[in-house]
Structure 1
Amino acid sequence: MFEVHVLSNQLKRVACALLIVVHMLPAAARDLIGRVSVVDGDTLDIHDDRIRLWGIDAPESAQLCRGRDRKPYRCGALAANTLDAFTRGKAVRCTPVDDDRYGRIVARCAVRRTDLGQMLVSRGLAIEEPQYSHGRYAADQLAARRAGRGIWAGRFVEPSFYRACIHGQGRVAQCSGIPPMRR
């Protein structure tokens, strides 16, 4: 009986030690779970952590795109609002993949079993970044493009070109219409 009690205490100590070690790991080493605040179409906050969605790039919040009717609309705001509506009041699980140069955690995030990056790309609200995603969302992007969903319904500037233009002191409307438009 004494041996069982000693073994039980040893197991408790080991379990406590493991629990302490897990909580000492950096956030990038463990899943982040919670309700989110949407920063923009590809960035979220969970608790005090800023998370960039892995493998995609959404239009910037102020960015304009042209719809099927050729009229400009706030495609970046649409991406952010859609992400907010999809995640509102739900637990989001983010599995860190890397950190980016801005100190954000780059992660694959999901609500239940729905991958948020895939949801945005399949709705035409973000583009795949194949250099990071390794083609994970290629079929979803192709389907959105062929169906003319979201940004694929009209014309848009890739978000990276838009950001470069804005950082070069361009204006929103000007930067939303240059360089070569994707169709």
Structure 2
Amino acid sequence: MTNKLLGAAPVLIAIALIGHSVIRGRAESEPRIIQTVEVRGDWEAAGYPARVVPGSVYDGDTIRVKSDRPELAKYANDKGEIKVRFACIDAPEKQQRHGIMARDTLRSILAAGEVTVDPVDVDRYGRVVAELWNDDGLVQSNMVVAGAAFPYEDYKENCKNWDAVSYSGQLAKKQRLGVWASGVPEYPWEWRRR
């Protein structure tokens, strides 16, 4: 039964996102965060509660958190802070067009300060790569649907909820929100290469 529900997750997410968008209506020029509905599965047992470190949202895809859970705490610096890089997405750099908007959108999404960290990897810089959840659902999906980040296809194998993130990107692109507004997006991975 659980596998059937998890298999239906992309359809349920699509219906929820479309329904929410239609019901609320939206001005094309006014990007807003759409709350996503996610179907949680057995991964939830692997997620760890954490508190976002105040002032740690420097850009749109990396934060610092504190957690007493040994599974996360072993990656903490001397201040007890764990640097978390978001799986599934890449947000514009702060110096890049839309970079400040991406940072501010993430600050808004994380305003409550509590997240569940679902680690998927540790990168070469020692950051925990993870999917993050809060009361509004998958943080990555909410960033992408607001036009504040791009689905990062090169790393989709580390993204347990790739279908939700990818679909959120399709919605934002269709509505020309945020990073998609000009019709010619400036992808962060290309910007960094230059």
Provide TM-score, normalisation by structure 2. 0.61
Asked which structure has the greater CA Rg, the reply is 1
Q: Is the 8 A contact 1:55 1:129 kept in 2?
A: yes
Residue 157 of structure 1 is matched in structure 2 by: 186
Q: Is the 8 A contact 1:94 1:108 kept in 2?
A: yes
What is the 5 A alignment of 1:160-175? 160-165=189-194
Q: Unmatched 5+ residue regions in structure 2? A: 1-45, 67-80
Inter-partner Cα distance in structure 1 for 2:168 and 2:112 = 26
Higher mean C-alpha deviation, range 40-49 or range 112-121: 112-121
The one-letter code sitting in structure 2 at the alignment partner of 1:158 is: Y
Q: 88, 93, 114: which one pairs with 1:60?
A: 93
Residue 33 of structure 1 is matched in structure 2 by: 50
1:29-83 alpha-carbon deviations (Å, 9 max, x no partner) = 862411342121000100210000111000001102xxxxxxxxxx011101111
Q: 132, 140, 162: which one pairs with 2:155?
A: 132
Cα 1:86–1:30 change in 2 (3 A) is: closer
Q: CA deviation at 1:111?
A: 1.2
Inter-partner Cα distance in structure 2 for 1:107 and 1:113 = 17
Inter-partner Cα distance in structure 1 for 2:153 and 2:61 = 15
The one-letter code sitting in structure 1 at the alignment partner of 2:63 is: L
Is 2:171 the partner of 1:148?
Answer: no
Q: What's the % identity of the aligned pairs?
A: 31
Q: Is the 8 A contact 1:40 1:61 kept in 2?
A: yes
Inter-partner Cα distance in structure 1 for 2:135 and 2:112 = 12
The one-letter code sitting in structure 1 at the alignment partner of 2:147 is: G
Inter-partner Cα distance in structure 1 for 2:187 and 2:108 = 24
The one-letter code sitting in structure 2 at the alignment partner of 1:40 is: D
Inter-partner Cα distance in structure 1 for 2:47 and 2:148 = 28
Local SS of the residue matching 1:97: strand
Residue 13 of structure 1 is matched in structure 2 by: none
Q: CA deviation at 1:90?
A: 2.8
Q: Is the 8 A contact 1:43 1:53 kept in 2?
A: yes
Q: Is the 8 A contact 1:32 1:46 kept in 2?
A: no
Inter-partner Cα distance in structure 2 for 1:32 and 1:105 = 14
Inter-partner Cα distance in structure 1 for 2:155 and 2:135 = 23
Residue 25 of structure 1 is matched in structure 2 by: none
Give the total of aligned pairs. Answer: 127
CA RMSD of aligned residues (A): 1.7
Inter-partner Cα distance in structure 2 for 1:133 and 1:158 = 16
Local SS of the residue matching 1:162: helix
Q: Is the 8 A contact 2:118 2:131 kept in 1?
A: yes
Residue 21 of structure 1 is matched in structure 2 by: none
Is 2:47 the partner of 1:44?
Answer: no
Q: 109, 117, 122: which one pairs with 1:94?
A: 117
